[in-house]
């Protein structure tokens, strides 16, 4: 018979062994990923032009960050460039940790030349494709890269496992200095010159001059399946994308799994990501991957097509590639149909937890207009506003001002609805309806549910707008053309499996309704992701108050927070 002492000792040893196994398992699953980002200038050639650009580690696009759900990520950013710098980790929720979110003068002051800052954040409850980019001036024209978050160890994708993955970043290229182009536009009161080319992984492709070396090519093998992680890093253009003769199966948007559906073309707005499966099931050859702008209003845009090559293994480069059929540049019907196909997976493992009760209803009108400017070319300056307020950037980080209760930096009187209702999408008014300027924010109690309807207007011209909310995902409940009808349109909302995103398009002359739970305390930027419109003032921010519990309050700022 075993003595009680020996039995107790045996049980103790078993418990210690189990604890050790659990500890090792947790250590293996949750790692610390460290990266060094050196912001530095480099001469780069495209379209027969060489110019200095700002890069990360001399790369264009910048390096991909790889992490696994549950990891902690440390990115030490050292600024060797002539410009102040900040980096935004687009789509990462940064729970209680706005100090790592990155938008200049919102959650931090920028990193000055010669200084460093460590972005320290956890990847919690997210997996999929996101991206990072500069969040100051127009520097994200060249300072951007992918974030790939793998599922936890042992957790498979909810779709067939691909044989290989490929990151594909869409961008824009200017032959001249982007910052000088923006300054010139601001001085003239006009839009800056449009880009000279679109790019795929930094390369415009063979439709442009001097592009022999500047065409991205992806080799595939017959019968294998590939996961393409698509990211629209362009500053100002919504883009169509297609691959000649190959269907794509959409399985994820903005790092949220979707109900899979097949499509020949897709639409992706600046800031958005889309994961697709592509099966190499065609006659071995060379097939063009192409992207070009979607624009359904008569304004000047970069309408040139960027191309890359999907090439079957063993096929020589001399074979003439097949070109895909892209939707017409103004095909708004395709755009709306495509967006309506997007649905959250809403499975047992990946539910769509749509808030059904609303605590706060917000209605924001999106306006483009003109203000008087005697020194500008036409005596006016183009401006943009939400609820007739053009946002003024502060000189102190808003999160710092909120956390330390600094007075005079911002007010929390942003209106819940426009001050002057009108026929928003009727005949152009060519007026501003008394547009004001200010650093006005919206204060939201912790854990309250917010419904926000974004309404495009025809003050000057209607246009589509991709809006990005920092610190959160939200559910896209519905969208429509014309004026939002509060008596009828909510009855059409999808409250079962709406797409969950961090960036959503508001259609030209239409509206989009989103909903989210304000469970992440801090100050969170909300803005159009067309860099042109953001610079004109199409932005605001939400102050989400602390909750009652200690784990519902903003974390203290890091010691190396950049000074203002």
Tokens 């992706």, located at residue: 268
Cα separation, 86 vs 100, in Å, equals 10
Tokens 């095909």, located at residue: 331
**Residue 20: what pLDDT?**
43
Q: Are 80 and 113 in contact (CB under 8 A)?
A: yes
Query: Residue 189 — left, alpha, or beta (φ > 0 → left; ψ -120 to 50 → alpha)?
Result: left
Q: How far apart are the first and last CA of the chain?
A: 74
Cα separation, 465 vs 472, in Å, equals 18
Q: Which helix (DSSP H) or strand (DSSP E) does residue 24 occupy? A: helix 4-29
Tokens 């440390």, located at residue: 74
Model pLDDT for residues 23-71, shown as the tens digit of each residue: 444 444 679 999 999 999 999 999 999 999 999 999 999 999 999 999 9
The DSSP letter of residue 104 is B
Model pLDDT for residues 229-244, shown as the tens digit of each residue: 999 999 999 999 999 9
Return the percentage of the chain with pLDDT > 70, whole number: 95
Token pair for 393 = 């950037």
Token pair for 480 = 């429509």
Three-state secondary structure readout of 282-311: CCCCEEEEEEEEECCCCCCCCCCCEEEEEE
Token pair for 392 = 């003024």
**Residue 258: beta bridge partners?**
344
Helix ranges (DSSP H) in 282-387: 332-341
| Cβ count within 10 A of residue 486 | 10
**Residue 29: what pLDDT?**
61
**Residue 84: what pLDDT?**
98
**Residue 161: beta bridge partners?**
none
Taking alpha carbons only, the member of 127, 79, 74 closest to residue 97 is 74
**Residue 6: what pLDDT?**
42
Tokens 């040893």, located at residue: 13
Cα separation, 89 vs 133, in Å, equals 7
**Residue 27: what pLDDT?**
45
Taking alpha carbons only, the member of 376, 534, 374 closest to residue 465 is 534
Q: How far is CA 553 from CA 119, 396, 407, 519, 544, in A?
A: 19, 21, 20, 10, 10
All residue ranges of the chain with pLDDT < 70 are 1-29
Taking alpha carbons only, the member of 161, 160, 235 closest to residue 191 is 235
Token pair for 43 = 């001469």
**Residue 19: what pLDDT?**
44
Cα separation, 337 vs 352, in Å, equals 22
Cα separation, 436 vs 256, in Å, equals 37
**Residue 449: what pLDDT?**
98
Mean per-residue pLDDT of the chain: 94
Token pair for 304 = 């040139």
Q: Please count the residues of the chain.
A: 564
pTM of the full predicted structure? 0.94
Q: Which helix (DSSP H) or strand (DSSP E) does residue 530 occupy? A: none
């Amino acid at each position: 018979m075993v003595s009680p002492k020996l039995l107790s000792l045996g049980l103790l040893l078993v418990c210690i062994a189990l604890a050790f196994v659990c500890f090792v398992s947790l250590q293996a699953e949750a790692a610390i990923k460290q990266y060094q980002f050196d912001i530095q200038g480099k001469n780069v050639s495209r379209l027969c032009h060489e110019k200095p650009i700002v890069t990360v580690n001399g790369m264009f696009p910048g390096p991909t960050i790889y992490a696994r759900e549950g990891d902690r990520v440390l990115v030490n950013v050292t600024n060797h460039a002539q410009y102040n710098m900040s980096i935004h980790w687009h789509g990462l929720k940064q729970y209680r940790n706005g100090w790592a979110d990155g938008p200049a003068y919102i959650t931090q002051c920028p990193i000055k030349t010669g200084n460093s800052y460590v972005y320290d954040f956890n990847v919690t409850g997210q997996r999929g494709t996101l991206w990072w980019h500069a969040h100051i001036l127009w520097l994200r024209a060249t300072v951007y890269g992918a974030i790939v978050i793998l599922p936890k160890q042992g957790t498979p994708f909810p779709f067939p496992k691909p044989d290989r993955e490929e990151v594909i970043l869409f961008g824009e290229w200017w032959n001249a200095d982007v910052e000088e182009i923006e300054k010139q536009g601001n001085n003239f009161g006009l839009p800056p010159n449009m880009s000279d080319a679109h790019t795929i992984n930094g390369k415009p492709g063979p439709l442009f001059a001097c592009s022999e070396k500047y065409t991205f090519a992806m080799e595939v093998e017959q019968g294998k399946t590939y996961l393409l992680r698509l990211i629209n890093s362009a500053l100002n253009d919504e883009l169509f994308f297609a691959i000649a003769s190959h269907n794509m199966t959409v399985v994820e948007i903005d790092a949220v799994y979707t109900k899979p559906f097949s499509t020949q073309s897709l639409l992706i707005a600046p800031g958005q990501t889309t994961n697709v499966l592509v099966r190499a099931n065609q006659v071995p050859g060379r097939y063009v991957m192409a992207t070009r702008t979607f624009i359904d209003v008569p304004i000047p845009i970069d309408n040139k097509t960027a191309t890359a090559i999907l090439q079957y293994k063993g096929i020589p480069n001399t074979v003439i590639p097949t070109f895909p059929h892209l939707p017409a540049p103004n095909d708004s019907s395709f755009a709306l149909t495509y967006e309506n196909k997007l649905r959250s997976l809403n499975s047992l493992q990946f539910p769509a937890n749509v808030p059904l009760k609303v605590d706060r209803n917000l209605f924001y009108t999106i306006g483009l207009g003109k203000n008087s400017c005697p020194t500008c070319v036409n005596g006016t300056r183009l401006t943009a506003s939400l609820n007739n307020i053009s946002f003024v950037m502060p000189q102190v980080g808003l999160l710092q001002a909120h956390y330390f209760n600094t007075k005079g930096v911002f007010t929390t009187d942003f209106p819940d609805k426009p001050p002057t209702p009108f026929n928003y999408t009727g005949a152009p008014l060519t007026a501003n309806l008394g547009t004001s300027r200010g650093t006005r924010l919206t204060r939201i109690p912790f854990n309250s549910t917010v419904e926000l309807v974004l309404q495009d207007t025809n003050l000057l011209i209607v246009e589509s707008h991709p809006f990005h909310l920092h610190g959160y995902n939200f559910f896209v409940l519905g969208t429509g053309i014309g004026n939002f009808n509060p008596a009828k349109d909510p009855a059409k909302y999808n409250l079962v499996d709406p797409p969950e995103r961090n960036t959503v398009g508001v259609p030209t002359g239409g509206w989009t309704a989103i909903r989210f739970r304000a469970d992440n305390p801090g100050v969170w930027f909300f803005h159009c992701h067309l860099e042109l419109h953001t610079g004109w003032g199409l932005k605001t921010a939400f102050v989400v108050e602390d909750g009652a519990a200690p784990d519902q309050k903003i974390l203290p700022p890091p010691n190396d927070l950049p000074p203002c």
